[in-house]
């Protein structure tokens, strides 16, 4: 019996030395401890052993069982560790690889200006209001005192959808909409930035451009309020040293009307090619809201007065960032757009 067991122990050691997978380990378990396994059958065989040999027989079988269990447990632990290590190795992320470079966008100069203008006016208590780009003749013209056939319409030819609908030529159309929408006829303080369209095409005029409209309606609003507001606007946007000048002008929906100029930011007002040697640059149109327009908007002109102004957003961006051609704004050229990835104070504008 001793010999038999020794032989079995040797076989067992060899069998375990060859085990490489869990499957093989499980097969060994069946081979030794399964229903018809070697150890199982040896244990069952004890009944045929004479009584006086039973004790020794049992001891031998037990030696084999302990040896098997021992080897089984050790190999199981070893295989499990191997499996975990293999997984860890396979799933490792190589952080030493250079990353894929992300292209970072930058804000379009047009949006930069809108945000700057909005921040300034919101800080003065204004609301920001949107209006439709596809407008009707009524809001773009008639409610603004441009009667049918009015000569001032000539300067504002645009893209017509049909007799009544057109692409708005000015954000002033928002004036009539804001007045109309304010059913309580309470005071108004709004700016309306957005896209506008005209039949234009040269270095300083594009068929698409942007404007921002300002409208204030309240009791006792005077030209002095308009002047103070526009002075703050010009200084904040173009520099504290900027001076403002008002010239008489004409718009059907304001009276009196004016054109507002600012001192040239290149020469400071001395005269240079940018300002055509005048020292001044035209910035915007403005005026006191015409009584007819107030009336058509549902406001009593004896009780309410107001001012309005409108300026080209592209123009502002072109001044501010020294952009020589308005068409760059709409060309989608990434070399142009990439130049606007800095903070305002980091620009050194050279004309
Ligand atoms: N809408 C006018 C234009 O485009 C500008 C303007 C706005 C004038 C508001 C007066 C008041 O020329």
Same domain, yes or no: 229 and 305? yes
The confidence score (pLDDT) of residue 351 equals 62
Nearest to 259 by CA among 199, 326, 311: 311
Question: What is the CATH classification number for the domain harbouring 158?
Answer: 3.30.930.10
Q: Report the 10 Å Cβ neighbour count for 119.
A: 11
Same domain, yes or no: 132 and 232? yes
For residue 191, the Cα-to-chain-centroid distance in whole angstroms is 23
CA of 284 to the centre of ligand 1 (A): 7
286 close to ligand 1 (CB < 6 Angstrom): yes
Total domain count, the chain: 2
Same domain, yes or no: 212 and 314? yes
b/e code 76-86 from CB counts within 10 Å (16+ = b) = eeebeeeeeee
The confidence score (pLDDT) of residue 350 equals 63
Question: Quick check: is 251 in a domain?
Answer: yes
Please check whether residue 223 is in contact with residue 307, taking contact to mean a CB–CB distance below 8 angstroms.
yes
CA of 190 to the centre of ligand 1 (A): 15
Note down the domain range covering 54. 2-90
170 close to ligand 1 (CB < 6 Angstrom): yes
Same domain, yes or no: 182 and 293? yes
The confidence score (pLDDT) of residue 349 equals 66
CA of 169 to the centre of ligand 1 (A): 10
DSSP secondary-structure letter at 171?
T
Residue to mutate (ligand 1; options 173, 251, 260; most atoms within 8 A of CB): 251
Same domain, yes or no: 174 and 263? yes
**Nearest-angstrom CA–CA distance, 333 and 335:** 5
The confidence score (pLDDT) of residue 101 equals 84
CA of 299 to the centre of ligand 1 (A): 20
Same domain, yes or no: 154 and 74? no
Question: Quick check: is 349 in a domain?
Answer: no
Question: Quick check: is 149 in a domain?
Answer: yes
Same domain, yes or no: 51 and 175? no
The confidence score (pLDDT) of residue 162 equals 96
Same domain, yes or no: 82 and 167? no
Question: pLDDT 10s per residue in the chain (351 long)?
Answer: 888 899 999 999 999 998 999 999 999 999 999 999 999 999 999 999 999 999 999 999 999 999 999 999 999 999 999 999 999 999 988 788 788 888 788 899 999 999 999 999 999 999 999 999 999 999 999 999 999 999 999 999 999 999 999 999 999 999 999 999 999 999 999 999 999 999 988 877 889 999 999 999 999 999 999 999 999 999 998 889 999 999 999 999 999 999 999 998 788 899 988 889 999 999 999 999 999 999 999 999 999 999 999 999 998 998 888 888 888 999 989 899 988 888 777 776 666
Question: Quick check: is 350 in a domain?
Answer: no
Same domain, yes or no: 81 and 136? no
Same domain, yes or no: 225 and 273? yes
The confidence score (pLDDT) of residue 201 equals 82
The confidence score (pLDDT) of residue 220 equals 97
DSSP secondary-structure letter at 252?
T
pTM for this model (two decimals): 0.71
Same domain, yes or no: 192 and 318? yes
Instruction: Name the closest-CA residue to atom 7, ligand 1.
Output: 310
The confidence score (pLDDT) of residue 11 equals 92
């Amino acid at each position: 019996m001793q010999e038999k067991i020794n032989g079995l122990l040797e076989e067992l050691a060899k069998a375990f030395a060859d085990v490489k997978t869990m499957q093989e380990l499980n097969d060994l378990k069946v081979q030794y401890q399964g229903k018809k396994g070697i150890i199982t059958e040896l244990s069952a065989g004890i009944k045929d052993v004479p009584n006086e040999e039973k004790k020794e027989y049992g001891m031998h079988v037990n030696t084999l069982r302990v040896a098997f269990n021992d080897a089984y447990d050790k190999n199981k632990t070893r295989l499990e560790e191997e499996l975990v290590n293999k997984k860890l190795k396979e799933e490792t992320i190589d952080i030493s690889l250079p990353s894929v470079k992300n292209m970072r966008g930058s804000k379009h100069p047009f949006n930069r200006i809108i945000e700057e203008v909005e921040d300034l006016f919101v800080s003065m208590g204004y609301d920001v209001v949107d209006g439709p780009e596809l407008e009707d003749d009524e809001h773009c013209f008639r409610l603004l005192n441009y009667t049918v056939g009015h000569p001032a319409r000539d300067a504002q030819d645009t893209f017509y959808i049909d007799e009544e609908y057109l692409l708005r030529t000015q954000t002033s159309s928002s004036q009539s909409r804001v007045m109309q929408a304010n059913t309580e006829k309470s005071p108004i303080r709004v700016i309306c930035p957005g896209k506008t369209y005209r039949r234009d095409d040269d270095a300083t005029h594009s068929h698409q451009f942007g404007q921002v409209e300002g409208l204030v309606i309240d009791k006792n609003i005077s030209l002095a309020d308009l002047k103070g507001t526009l002075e703050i606007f010009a200084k904040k946007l173009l520099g504290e040293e900027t001076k403002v000048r008002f010239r008489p002008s004409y718009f059907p929906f304001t009276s009196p009307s004016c054109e507002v100029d600012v001192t040239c930011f290149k020469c400071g007002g001395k005269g240079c090619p940018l300002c055509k040697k005048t020292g001044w640059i035209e910035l915007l149109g403005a005026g006191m809201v015409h009584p007819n327009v107030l009336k058509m908007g549902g406001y009593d002109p004896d009780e309410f007065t107001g001012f309005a102004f409108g300026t080209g957003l592209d123009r502002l961006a072109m001044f501010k960032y020294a952009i020589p051609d308005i068409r760059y704004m709409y060309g989608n050229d990434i070399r142009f757009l990439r130049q606007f990835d800095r903070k305002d104070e980091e620009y050194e504008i050279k004309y």
